[in-house]
Amino acid sequence: MSQPSVRTQHKVLVCVCGGIAAYKVCHVVSRLVQRGVDVDVAMTAHARQFVGAATFEALSGRPVHTELWHNLANEQHQDPPHIRLPREAELIVVAPATANMIAKMANGLADDLVSSLLLAANPAKVLAAPAMNEGMLQHPATQRNLAAVKAMGISLIGPEDGWQACRTTGKGRMSEPDEILTVILQRLGIKQG
In contact, 18 and 100? CB cutoff 8 Å: yes
Task: Name the β-bridge partners of 162.
Answer: 170
Quickly state the pLDDT bin for 151 (edges 50, 70, 90). very high
User: pLDDT tens digits, residue range 27-74?
Assistant: 999 999 999 999 999 999 999 999 999 999 999 999 999 988 765 555
Domains of the chain: 11-188 (3.40.50.1950)
Residue 193: pLDDT over 60: yes
Q: What are 120-133's pLDDT values in tens digits?
A: 999 999 999 999 99
Active site residues: 166
pTM: 0.91
CB 118 within 8 A of CB 15: yes
Alpha-carbon distances of 112 from 54, 61, 115, rounded to whole Å: 20, 23, 6
pLDDT at residue 31, as a whole number: 97
pLDDT of residue 167: 83
For residue range 102-121, list pLDDT tens digits in order: 999 999 999 999 999 999 99
- Give the per-residue pLDDT at 117: 97
What H or E segment, with its residue span, contains residue 127?
strand 126-130
Q: How many Cβ atoms are within 10 Å of 105's Cβ, its own excluded?
A: 26
What pLDDT, on a 0 to 100 scale, did the predictor assign at position 58? 98
Confidence of residue 1 (pLDDT cuts 50, 70, 90): very low
Chain centroid to CA 151: how far?
Answer: 19
Radius of gyration of the chain (CA): 16
The amino acid sitting at 61 is: G
Q: Nearest to residue 42, comparing CAs of 58, 21, 63, 26?
A: 63
CA of residue 48 relative to chain centroid, distance? 13
* 8 has a pLDDT exceeding 80: no
* Angstrom distance (rounded) from CA 172 to CA 160: 6
pLDDT in tens, 73-100: 555 656 788 888 999 999 999 999 999 9
Q: 158-186 pLDDT, tens per residue?
A: 998 887 777 888 888 999 999 999 999 99
